[in-house]
A and B are shown apart, each in its own frame.
Chain A
Amino acid sequence: MTLEQFLLNFTIFHPLLGAAAVALLARDAKQSKNIGTVVSLVTLALTVFLAARLNATQFQLQFVTSVDWVSALGIRYAVGLDGTNAWLVVLSSLMTLVAVSTTRDDTKNLKGFYALIFALQTAMLGAFTALDLVLFFTFFELTLLPMYFLINFWGTGNARKTAAKFLIFTFAGSVFTLIGIAGLAITHRNVAGSLEFGLIELQSMVANGKLWVGSESQTVLFWLFALGFLVKAPCFPFHSWIGDTYEDSPKAGPILSSAMVKLGSYGLLRFCLPLFPEAVQSQAPILIGLATVSILYGAIAAIAQTDMRRLMGYSTLSHMGFVLLGIFSLSYVGMVGAAFQQLAHGVTTAILVVLVWHLLEQYGTAKLDAFGGLKAKMPIFSLLFFLGLLGNVGLPGTMGFVGEFTALMGAFESGARGTFGISVGFAAAAGAGVVLAAVYLLVMYQKVFYGPERLQEGPDWTDVRAASMVPVFGLIGLMFVGGLYSTVFTAPTEASTQAIRLMATSLPTQRPSLSNPDQKIDLEPTAQQGALVDTRTGTVITPGRLRGYVVAPVPTVAEVNP
């Protein structure tokens, strides 16, 4: 076992050690927080180290540990990293750090609070790295109860109902995913004689075109799979939990949720695209339509909100819509953009969540009409808020811009070429979402920070101390670094993302196979072999008109060495 393999496994379960450390060592709230912060810093450092050690030119999974768990049923404990999940692992550690370090000392039952946060982190790290469907699903479902109790025990308002709604919605989606998993394993048994849950093994069966031979259930199984992920993402029309969850959660809820929703988009990228290529191609117009509706519906609903927390919830729906748009554009730019937008949404949302919940904790309300004229009273706070807002709007130079722009780019590219029946109209409509985002965010800023002061009788309006806002400074710094040097974040994802795209769009025998260590994905746009083919029409897809507009290099044609 190499160092990286060991560290990957250690990192997944490290937060549980942290929970134990907090429970056993801490004597008061201050100590709990210090120990918790140190533990999550260590986890973050480990994940960054692992991401840095990743060989970015390789699309195959790295640092793989695979141990038989249920040998009779083909279930394994298998984890590994590649460009698709490396940054998400870092993101979930970062969000945990933010959640832990911004928790107030007077939170009731602090040890239990941290224990649940750390359990959630282990669940997320496990789900993001799992390479076995059953293992993935176990970790995926492990996120439910910690989040349920976080909302229920520490939430505000209608926390009980909200917590139940969150759990029931997610469970309702994922139970169909479980049927899909069972169905996929049975499909494998029908073809190869044994049950199989391993991603690498299943994908190589798909890659050589054997798995789906003679099976008519691909589309059904695809939708069963996708349902759980679309609820988690969230995607219209399965989104209605997100607004309530944001409104009634304690601060840590939305912060962690901004990493957790990526389990949805990640599940689509990791499992749905590589395993159900024909279904993905035929259903792409529907999915891209849902993504577009999510973007617009989320933005319009956000405009109508009177509570900043709900507004942030619908903003998440809208922003995650761009991720889905990018993924199902099935174009290289769009998918790299989607991978990036996952990070961008996490970072930019977390900034505003910390600030909005600061207002809530100080003044007991997050209603838009309860505030006004804060800019004069709290200059530092309003500056931070404004910077965070710019990232959410998607101003060039911030992470939000790169993610949304490239995702839209991808949708335009596919739309302009007409691949997979995707219409350019989707991209045009989704583009309006960017404008609407500016509307709801700037209106929020205007109501809260300008205009007459409404909360007359409130406590004194002292500005935040800069020292208490260290996590926000860090996130804002990251937001600009990511916006200006986006290739730092996109480069490691490109090989894997391109491979996933080719797995979903190539003809059966030309698909990259995760189990073949010698295959290389060529990212240079010069190669002509293995041209992209629309498998429905059989026509070779030529490089599109829109090439060259993008931040990352755009190989529309990739070479696949068999």
Chain B
Amino acid sequence: MINFPIPATDWSLLLPIAMVALTGIFALIIEMVQPKRDNGPIVAISLFGLLLAAIQLGIQFQAPETVSFAGTVRRDAFSLAMQLVIVLGSMATILFSDAYLRAKKIPFAEFYPLMLWSTVGGMLMCASTNLLVIFVGLEILSISLYVLAGISRNEAKSEESAMKYFLLGAFASGFLLFGVAQLYGATGSLDLNQISPAWQTGDVNVRTLLVFGLGLLLIGMGFKASFFPFHQWTPDVYQGAPTNVTAFMATAGKTAAFAVLYRLLEASRDLSAFWVPALGVIAALTMLYGNIVALQQTDVKRILGYSSISHAGYILVALMAHGLMPDKIGPQTVVYYALTYTFTTVGSFAVVALSARDSGESTELADLRGLLQRDPISAVSLVVFMSALIGIPPGFSGLFGKLFIFQDAVAAGLLPLALVLAVSSIVSVSYYLNIAYQAVVAPREEGSEPVRVPAPGTIQAACAVCVFVVVAAAIAITPITNLIAPK
């Protein structure tokens, strides 16, 4: 008998992730036995599975913080909260996906299982501090997304998007793995939390490895989170991919990357002398570049792509503040911002998804014209989302998200970055307003009658849910922050 030590395992830690994964498999089986015409049951099952996972995550907030599976899976308030954000974002995306896919004549029901497994990858990234588990999570997330980005097979731009995303994603994975190897070489462990002890006890060689390993990891995650100058893929991929996939990429994919960066910076605060200047410059450039280039765009999906770059810069400021003072500055800001950003972005893309018609879509700004007459609900929702992205009421939670970032930045002594954030968000007002203007005020084209074409019910529902969360998250800050606050 070989004495193989089986580490103590607490399966409840993996329960939400397993739920989503199994729902994906179940959805795939249903897809095989069901005729392809009606995806209703699959959508219902996917939403139900995600809902169960969300409830399970909610329940686990009461459970004590713990680490299991030989230290590879971690349950704390931050990991649960970020997983919850990803699950909720995935739900909101799936809610409006069916109407969109049908309008675009993309009949593949594999969409839903892939979406769920991608969610699993994101959740896994949030739930671990083990570099290899994080890497596995990242690949699960990404490989599903590569397929999803190209799922609109008749469109050349969808294929282009998938190819670009795949190539650059693979490239980023390379950086990441190389960084993992270096950190492993320096610490002898795959756990992020070994960075700090290794730095304190290590000699020059170890420290060099640590700095380079950290740098490579940051580059790898920078691709995923689309920080300047690793953002090049973002606008093209966002524009080419089906709109619901874009919504998911821009929210869940980034949220997972932010979760990893959060752990990474927290674990390497001893190295802050290295990463503060580097990330400071990257954050400033990301914020400014995203917003300035967005001014020039005429395609709504591209605009939202650049907007997501700049918001990644905003969150990076909060991540840096936390990394500098992990004891004083908690996870509230990052989680709150990720939550509101997820729902504003998914909601905006849900409105953009309305433009899908007959295996094509036209997402120019001008196509939004007359939206108020066609479908007042989505037009007004779009105004709320834009106001939240600017950070003014009625998108209340956008305002609070900014306030929290400013607070953290000032507390951590990052006032210059707060000022850059302020300036770049002033720049952003103009293109967000332009979207709202086109949807509400701009005159329709000559000759076209004000026809009321109500949006599909599920898209309206997705808009309404997102508006509700964006407004309610501002009223319910106390419960949210209490939930996240470390016990």
Contacts and interface: CB of A to CB of B under 8 A. Distances in A.
A248 to B, nearest CB: 13
Interface stretch (A68-76, A92-100, A407-415, A531-539): A68-76
B22 interface: no
Given A142-B393, A179-B418, A182-B407, A164 B430 contact: yes
Interface in B467-487: 477-478, 481-482, 485
A191 to B, nearest CB: 13
A189 B411 contact: yes
B57 interface: no
A182 B403 contact: yes
A44 B410 CA distance: 41
Interface in B417-443: 418-419, 422, 425-426, 429-430, 433-434, 437, 440-441
Given A71-B478, A72-B478, A171-B429, A152 B441 contact: yes
A144 B392 contact: yes
B158 interface: no
A172 interface: yes
A307 interface: no
Given A138-B399, A168-B426, A189-B411, A148 B391 contact: no
Nearest to B422: A175
Interface in A68-87: 68-73, 75
B406 A70 contact: no
A181 interface: yes
B419 A179 contact: yes
Contact of B387 (A145, A175, A181): A145
A73 B485 CA distance: 12
A72 B483 CA distance: 11
A70 B410 contact: no
Interface string B396-413: 100110110011011100
A153 interface: yes
A181 B410 CA distance: 10
A284 to B, nearest CB: 25
Interface string B374-402: 00000000010001001111101001101
A183 interface: yes
Contacts of A182: 403, 406-407, 409-410, 418
A178 B402 contact: yes
A175 B426 contact: yes
A178 B406 contact: yes
Contacts, number: 99
Interface string A301-320: 00000000000000000000
A7 interface: no
Nearest to B400: A134
Specify the main secondary structure of chain A where it touches its partner: helix
Given A141-B393, A152-B437, A69 B430 contact: no
Contacts of B393: 123, 138-139, 141-142, 144-145
Interface string A127-142: 0000000100111011
A137 B430 CA distance: 21
A149 B441 contact: yes
Contacts of A75: 477
A152 B439 CA distance: 12
A160 interface: yes
Contacts of B477: 69-70, 73, 75
A179 B433 contact: no
Contacts of A145: 383, 387, 392-394
A175 B402 CA distance: 9
Looking at chain B, what size class is its interface with the partner chain? Answer: 35 or more
A519 to B, nearest CB: 32
Contact of B392 (A73, A171, A179, A189): A171
Interface in B323-339: 332
Nearest to B434: A164
Contacts of B419: 176, 179
Interface in A488-526: none
Given A145-B392, A167-B433, A73 B481 contact: yes
B410 A148 contact: no
Nearest to A197: B403
A186 interface: yes
Contacts of A167: 429, 433
A194 B135 CA distance: 39
A160 B418 contact: no
Contacts of B415: 179, 183
A185 interface: yes
B426 A172 contact: yes
A145 B385 CA distance: 12
B129 to A, nearest CB: 26
Contact of B478 (A69, A134, A138, A153): A69
A182 B387 CA distance: 20
A144 B394 CA distance: 10
Interface string A95-138: 00000000000000000000000000001000000000010011
A439 B393 CA distance: 41
Contact of B410 (A137, A142, A172, A183): A183
Interface of B: 332, 383, 387, 390-394, 396, 399-400, 402-403, 406-407, 409-411, 415, 418-419, 422, 425-426, 429-430, 433-434, 437, 440-441, 477-478, 481-482, 485
Question: Closest 5 CB pairs between A and B?
Answer: A182-B406, A142-B393, A182-B407, A70-B477, A141-B392
Given A68-B478, A141-B399, A168-B429, 7 more contacts: A138-B396, A142-B393, A152-B437, A164-B430, A179-B418, A182-B407, A183-B415
22 contacts: A70-B481, A73-B481, A75-B477, A134-B403, A137-B403, A138-B396, A141-B393, A144-B393, A145-B383, A145-B387, A152-B437, A152-B441, A153-B441, A164-B433, A168-B426, A176-B419, A182-B403, A182-B418, A183-B406, A186-B407, A189-B411, A195-B407
